[in-house]
Amino acid sequence: MKNTTPIVLVLFIVLLTLSTGCRKDISSAVLEKHEATYPDIRKKYIYQSLIRLANVNRDPNFEKLIKDVEKIVLYLPPREDSTYQIKTVKSGMQEDGYELLIEGRTSDNMRMSLWVKEVASHSHYVALMDAEEDDIILEVDGQINIEYLMAIQMADQELLKGLIDQGF
């Protein structure tokens, strides 16, 4: 019994260290409800390596913007559902504890907004793109270095749009 006590103590310390060091996933009740409403929603995952392709000018600020982003999860409209809307997501963001960071319109009249929710020492970012034809939700897995947000303008917008549209 004397020999097992140090082993159990070491295992306990290792497990405690691992459990506190692991990032707890931040869930979004509003996104979970949205997925339940639209079970045929299509998800697409865009990893950092693909996002970097849009940095054709090799802008260092763009690299700083995405350096802690592992991937972006796109929630795309169900193929056969003409009633798909993200208005309920937008109205539920504040109720779910999100704060609106930026909101605006693009030249083609698409409404865009970026939301953040702080949980523990982590930020969870969700972007909403409300367009005439398709509404898209972007969920960031990782951290955005928000001070470099304007660097997104330096990215190849057509390439970014192509990444979103690719395969759909």
- Average confidence (pLDDT) over 13-30: 47
- Report how far residue 74's alpha carbon sits from residue 76's, in angstroms, rounded to the nearest whole number: 6
pTM over 0.85, yes/no: no
pLDDT digits (tens, 9 = 90+) for 120-144: 888 999 999 988 778 899 999 999 9
- Average confidence (pLDDT) over 1-12: 40
Q: Check pLDDT > 70 for residue 27.
A: no
- Report how far residue 167's alpha carbon sits from residue 84's, in angstroms, rounded to the nearest whole number: 20
How far from 70 is each of 42, 45, 105, 119, 150, CA to CA, in Å?
19, 10, 27, 18, 20
Q: Check pLDDT > 70 for residue 12.
A: no
Which uninterrupted H or E stretch holds 21?
A: helix 4-21
Q: Check pLDDT > 60 for residue 3.
A: no
Which uninterrupted H or E stretch holds 52?
A: helix 48-53
| Most confident region among 9-13, 22-26, 90-94, 108-112 by mean pLDDT | 90-94
Question: What pLDDT does 1 receive?
Answer: 46
